[in-house]
């Protein structure tokens, strides 16, 4: 029997109960009913439950709907007008900025390098990432991970992400391997090329159904994909039985929306909102807007502080994401030892799932501020935390690569990006930078 992950009702209730605890809904009685029938809590890794759990499906469906009917008491709107109203420093439109080809290419190069650095250690905890690096003389992290010279006992204790390690270790990197963190950037470029700067959420949904294999979607994206196939329309695709709606998926889709709006973080955030609302709500949407605003600013800014401030300007100050990012940036500015910064991040956010938006966005801000524009130190810091290593590394790399107009030679790969998306397999980053620039202005 094929057990589909991230979509079965009996696999989602535990995650929805966890989401309820995070957003202030009192779901204690629902949790009691679920556990009394043998329902499980959210596992540390999202996926399928144990065999036989499908007998709980009718109950799970009822409880998911009951949980969905409960309103959160938190002031965290998803409507764009309400988000803008909640942000006193929302940036005014500033079209007309010109970004150099070097900076746009730097964003693509940086995103690719940070992603590939984090790929082989994705899903490993912080201590595992460090031990693998230390065992091969790569701590602090200053180069690609490698299995060469790695003691057997360390390899057994901390196995690589097998699906990723085949093309992301120093000894086997040959071009830029496929990854969802890169595929979504290609899809964002595609929706702009097909539908122009006035694209809609429906346009994004239709493009996904046309071009994105369902097996290349995960968590909130897979739930939204399922909802689309079941006839649910956006933005309900983000809310219907979707406990992952505040996880990191929308954040990793936002870079291109920033790159096509250089120096205009407000417009970049609006573009990211149109995309994010297909799959996410509240902090999940804010994470995408935060990154888009940073990427727009990184093309014209001179410091990481300016970039992070622009990102925060489009996030409601009363939200959990704003608080987490602000605290992380302050920690990074104050603490000389980045390991201490990571200690503080894990103390605050260790209870969140490793692919949640809030902890990873806070990490991204901390790595940027502490790295101070140093590309290697920045992506290394993002990966060293042991959360969503390839996603956090990709976003940090994107920002610093654009800010610097390139990446150090040690982080460049053969200019060929693998992808399962139509027309993109083998494409070069130089070509992607050119096409991105073409979409900057009407």
Residues forming the annotated binding site?
388, 390-391
Backbone angles phi, psi at 356, to 5 degrees: -75, 155
Integer Cα distance of 322 and 324 in angstroms: 6
Let me know: does 126 contact 346? Beta carbons within 8 Å.
Answer: yes
The answer to whether 9 and 61 have CB atoms below 8 angstroms apart is yes
Question: Using CA atoms, how far apart are residues 372 and 370, in angstroms rounded to an integer?
Answer: 5
Pair 145, 132: CB distance under 8 Å: yes
Number of H helices, E strands in the chain: 21, 0
Distance (Å, whole) CA 101 – CA 33: 58
In angstroms, the CA 207 to CA 195 distance is: 10
**H helical segments located in 100-229:** 101-118, 126-135, 152-157, 162-165, 180-195, 201-211, 219-229
Cα distance between residue 8 and residue 5, in whole Å: 7
Dihedral of the CA atoms 233, 246, 176, 111 (nearest 10)? 110
Question: Which pair of structure tokens corresponds to residue 270?
Answer: 């609006």
Which among 5, 19, 397, 17 has a CA at the least distance from the CA of 245? 19
Residue whose entry in the numeric block shows the structure tokens 């609302």: 277
Question: Among 191, 193, 182, 235, which Cα is nearest to 209's?
Answer: 191
Query: ω before 260 within 30° of 0 (cis)?
Result: no
Rounded CA gap, 145 and 138, in Å? 8
Strand partners, 427: 417
Cα first-last separation, the chain:
51
Picking from 189, 191, 147, 140, the residue whose alpha carbon sits closest to that of residue 378 is 140
Binding positions for Mg(2+): 388, 390-391
């Amino acid at each position: 029997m094929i057990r589909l992950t991230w979509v079965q009702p009996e696999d989602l209730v535990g995650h929805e109960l966890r989401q309820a605890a995070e957003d202030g809904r009192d779901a204690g009685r629902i949790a009691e009913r679920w556990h009394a029938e043998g329902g499980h809590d959210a596992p540390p890794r999202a996926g399928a439950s144990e065999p036989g759990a499908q007998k709980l499906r009718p109950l799970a469906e009822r409880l998911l709907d009951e949980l969905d009917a409960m309103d959160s008491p938190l002031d965290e709107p998803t409507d764009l007008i309400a988000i803008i109203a909640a942000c006193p420093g929302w940036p005014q439109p500033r079209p007309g900025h010109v970004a150099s080809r070097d900076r746009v290419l730097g964003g693509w190069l940086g995103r690719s390098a940070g992603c590939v650095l984090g790929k082989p250690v994705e899903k490993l905890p912080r201590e595992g990432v460090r031990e693998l690096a230390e065992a091969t003389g790569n701590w602090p992290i200053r180069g690609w991970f490698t299995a060469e010279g790695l003691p057997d006992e360390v390899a057994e204790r901390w196995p690589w992400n097998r699906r990723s390690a085949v093309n992301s270790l120093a000894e086997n990197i040959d071009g830029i391997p496929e990854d969802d963190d890169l595929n979504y950037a290609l899809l964002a470029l595609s929706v702009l090329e097909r539908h122009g700067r006035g694209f809609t959420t429906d346009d994004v949904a239709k493009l996904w159904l046309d071009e994105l294999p369902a097996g290349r979607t995960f968590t909130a994206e897979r739930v939204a994909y399922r909802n689309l196939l079941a006839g649910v329309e956006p933005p309900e695709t983000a809310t219907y039985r979707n406990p992952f709606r505040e996880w990191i998926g929308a954040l990793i889709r936002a870079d291109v929306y920033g790159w096509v709006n250089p120096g205009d973080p407000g417009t970049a955030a609006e573009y990211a909102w149109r995309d994010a609302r297909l799959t996410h709500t509240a902090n999940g949407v804010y994470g995408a807007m935060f990154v888009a605003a940073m990427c727009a600013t990184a093309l014209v800014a001179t410091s990481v502080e300016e970039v992070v401030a622009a990102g925060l300007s489009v996030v409601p100050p009363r939200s959990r994401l704003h608080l987490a990012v602000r605290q992380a940036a302050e920690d990074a500015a104050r603490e000389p030892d980045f390991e201490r910064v990571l200690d503080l991040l894990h103390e605050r956010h260790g209870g969140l799932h490793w692919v949640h938006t809030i902890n990873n966005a806070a990490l991204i801000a901390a790595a940027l501020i502490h790295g101070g524009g140093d590309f290697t130190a920045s992506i290394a810091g993002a990966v060293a935390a042991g959360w969503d290593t390839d996603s956090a590394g990709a976003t940090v790399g994107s920002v610093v690569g654009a800010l610097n107009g390139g990446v150090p030679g040690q982080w460049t790969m053969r200019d060929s990006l693998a992808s399962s998306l139509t027309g993109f397999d083998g494409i070069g980053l130089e070509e992607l930078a050119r096409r991105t620039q073409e979409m900057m202005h009407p």
